């Protein structure tokens, strides 16, 4: 059985931990690797390696750091298919979906290549007699990232390219579920020629995370994962005086106005609801049609599409979606479907009995569609993170908006309409961080920033883009006065400098 190593001080190192977790192929249910859970000492070594590299790396001209990033980007492009296969094997998502995830990660590397420009500061001449002021941003030192299973390549790439280009060194703690893609990407990072210790990867669980949160040399933590853990990471990290951005879970609604093109709406909902088996923090899990007639048309249009979803392993190039991540998660999603039925929602398409010949031990859940869901039901309140789309019928636009604004999560949302006024009001009034107008999954491009509101983000900064630069740097403002110069010309006698 393969044992997955860490990457510390420029080399792959196998952990000597006595604790480990198992990595599965979710399409077959077979164990494919063993993941040692790093000890406190091993995490400390990773931080020490990052610290040893930090000074020289931080002092290097940004243009030189950017050249390493260019090389890294070229290697990611050249190896994109191998990385995608690694993601699919451990995560279960389709090959095309894995390619899409890496492409969005590479965009952040491209953004980070512009670091000389991004770090430029401000200058004011003559703020007083012979006094000038300038301010710019400097790296923090050692920073760390803790990432979730659902985007094993993209989410780490949301973090370290920007942190490192800005002059920091990094310790990454990836998800235990699919740790191989981050390691393959680390190999490419090393091949790009970055100095040893600039990027370190340690695998582990709560013990490793707590060690990073408490370590005095780690100056900032980026976390992406479920809301309870995000909240925990935020409070423990900030209590230790660190800068923390902790992105959490979601429950994303899409309002369907009566004037929307129903075929386009259904296509958008199929991709946003069932793509990646619903395991995306920007997945749409709630469709909110406005008016009974809109709702009837929506459910009628969706039902045959959900029934004919093609579900399979990532090796099936025609599959629309794959399995969910673990056996436990499969059972959890099934439990949510049971609870929806028990609490009175109308089960239009039932994915509980889905079976795939030859993959009977895989963690598959069939596409599921609920109608007449209400806001007091568990399947409305909680994040399911599976291929379950629910329809909640709103009587009018105001009720739909009110519903979204009252939900505890505020990651993403969308409206489908042909009415510019409704779209504009929605973008203005909705209490959600990322908004789509006729765009179902409004994940911002790399040169904007990603982040939700309410219990979808703890901390003051969104991730990547300009907010990423701010998060990984701190402002320094220098005021200078040069009262006397030597501009009177050459002086040949010995000078008293006072």
Question: Among the residues of 216-355, which ranges form H helices?
Answer: 227-239, 262-274, 292-307, 327-342
Shortest CB 450 distance to ligand NAD, Å: 6
For 233-239, which contacts have Cβ atoms below 8 Å and span 24 or more sequence positions? 233/146, 233/209, 233/458, 234/458, 234/459, 236/210, 237/213
Shortest CB 196 distance to ligand NAD, Å: 24
The span from the CA of 459 to the CA of 235, in Å, is 10
Which two structure tokens, joined as six digits, stand for 396? 């009018």
Nearer residue to ligand NAD within complex by CB, 171 or 394: 171
Number of residue whose CB is nearest ligand NAD: 225
The span from the CA of 219 to the CA of 200, in Å, is 15
Residue 173 three-state SS:
strand
Nearer residue to ligand NAD within complex by CB, 13 or 104: 104
| Residues in the chain, total | 498
**Of the candidates 97, 82, 459, 419, the residue with the CA atom closest to the CA atom of residue 271:** 97
Residues with Cβ within 8 Å of 144's Cβ and at least 6 positions away in sequence, in order, are 47, 170, 171, 172, 173, 212, 218, 220, 221, 222
Residue 265 three-state SS:
helix
Residue 403 three-state SS:
helix
Contact status, residue 173 vs residue 147, Cβ threshold 8 Å: yes
Contact status, residue 290 vs residue 400, Cβ threshold 8 Å: yes
The span from the CA of 400 to the CA of 253, in Å, is 9
Contact status, residue 217 vs residue 51, Cβ threshold 8 Å: yes
Residue 113 falls in the annotated catalytic set: no
Nearer residue to ligand NAD within complex by CB, 179 or 367: 179
Nearer residue to ligand NAD within complex by CB, 181 or 224: 224
Nearer residue to ligand NAD within complex by CB, 90 or 176: 176
Shortest CB 443 distance to ligand NAD, Å: 9
Shortest CB 227 distance to ligand NAD, Å: 6
Provide DSSP, 196-228.
TTSEEE---SHHHHHHHHH-TTEEEEEEES-HH
Shortest CB 176 distance to ligand NAD, Å: 5
Shortest CB 98 distance to ligand NAD, Å: 15
Nearer residue to ligand NAD within complex by CB, 246 or 306: 246
The C-alpha R_g of the chain, in whole angstroms, comes to 25
The span from the CA of 107 to the CA of 442, in Å, is 16
Shortest CB 151 distance to ligand NAD, Å: 6
Nearer residue to ligand NAD within complex by CB, 196 or 210: 210
Nearer residue to ligand NAD within complex by CB, 250 or 299: 250
Could you say which of 202, 209, 213, 281 is catalytic? 281
Burial of 292 (0-12, 13-18, 19+ CB in 10 A): exposed
Shortest CB 302 distance to ligand NAD, Å: 23
Question: Among the residues of 344-494, which ranges form H helices?
Answer: 378-381, 397-406, 420-429, 465-471
Chain contacts with ligand NAD (rule: CB under 6 A):
146-151, 155, 173, 175-176, 205-206, 209, 224-226, 229, 232, 247-250, 281, 383, 385, 411, 452, 456
Nearer residue to ligand NAD within complex by CB, 248 or 351: 248
Cα–Cα distance list, 47 to 212, 214, 218, 294 (Å): 8, 12, 7, 55
The span from the CA of 163 to the CA of 139, in Å, is 8
Shortest CB 354 distance to ligand NAD, Å: 22
Q: What residues are annotated to the active site?
A: 281
């Amino acid at each position: 059985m393969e044992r997955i190593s860490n990457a510390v001080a420029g080399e792959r190192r196998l952990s000597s931990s006595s604790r480990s977790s198992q990595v599965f192929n979710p399409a077959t249910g077979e164990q494919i690797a063993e993941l040692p859970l790093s000890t406190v000492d091993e995490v400390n070594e990773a931080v020490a390696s990052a610290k040893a590299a930090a000074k020289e790396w931080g002092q290097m001209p940004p243009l030189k750091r950017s050249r390493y990033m260019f090389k890294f980007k070229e290697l990611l492009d050249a190896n994109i298919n191998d990385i995608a296969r690694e993601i699919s094997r451990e995560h279960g998502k389709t090959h095309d979906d894995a390619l899409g995830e890496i492409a969005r990660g590479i965009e952040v590397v491209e953004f980070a290549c512009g670091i000389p420009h991004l770090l430029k500061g401000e200058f004011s001449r003559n703020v007083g007699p012979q006094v000038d002021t300038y301010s710019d941003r400097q790296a923090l030192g050692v920073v760390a990232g803790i990432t979730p299973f659902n985007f094993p390549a993209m989410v780490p790439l949301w973090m370290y390219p920007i942190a490192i280009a800005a002059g920091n060194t990094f310790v990454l703690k990836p998800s235990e579920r699919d740790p191989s893609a981050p390691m393959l990407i680390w190999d490419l990072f090393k091949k790009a020629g970055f100095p040893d210790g600039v990027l370190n990867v340690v695998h582990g669980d709560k013990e490793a995370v707590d060690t990073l949160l408490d370590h005095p040399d780690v100056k900032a933590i980026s976390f992406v994962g479920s809301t309870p853990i995000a909240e925990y990471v935020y409070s423990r990290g900030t209590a230790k005086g660190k800068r923390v951005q902790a992105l959490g879970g979601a429950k994303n609604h899409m309002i369907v106005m009566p004037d929307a093109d129903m075929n386009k709406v259904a296509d958008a909902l199929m991709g946003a609801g069932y793509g990646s088996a619903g395991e995306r923090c920007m997945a749409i899990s709630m469709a909110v049609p406005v008016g009974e007639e809109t709702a009837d048309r929506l459910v009628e249009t969706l039902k045959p599409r959900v029934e004919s979803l093609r579900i399979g392993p990532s090796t099936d190039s025609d599959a629309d979606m794959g399995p969910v991540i673990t056996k436990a998660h499969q059972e959890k999603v099934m439990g949510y479907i049971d609870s929806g039925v028990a609490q009175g929602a109308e089960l239009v398409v039932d994915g509980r009995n889905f079976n795939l010949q030859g993959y009977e031990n895989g963690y598959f859940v069939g596409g599921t569609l609920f109608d007449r869901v209400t806001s007091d039901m568990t399947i409305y309140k909680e994040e399911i993170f599976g291929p379950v789309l629910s329809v909640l019928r709103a009587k009018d636009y105001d009720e739909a908006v009110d519903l979204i604004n009252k939900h505890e999560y505020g990651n993403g949302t969308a409206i489908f309409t042909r009415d510019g006024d409704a779209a504009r009001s929605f973008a203005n009034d909705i209490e959600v961080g990322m908004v789509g107008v006729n765009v179902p999954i409004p994940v911002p491009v790399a040169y904007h920033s990603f982040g939700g509101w309410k219990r979808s983000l703890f901390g003051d900064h969104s991730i990547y883009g300009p907010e990423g630069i701010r998060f990984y740097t701190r402002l320094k403002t220098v005021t200078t006065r040069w009262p006397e110069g030597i501009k009177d010309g050459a002086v040949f006698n010995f000078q008293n400098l006072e």
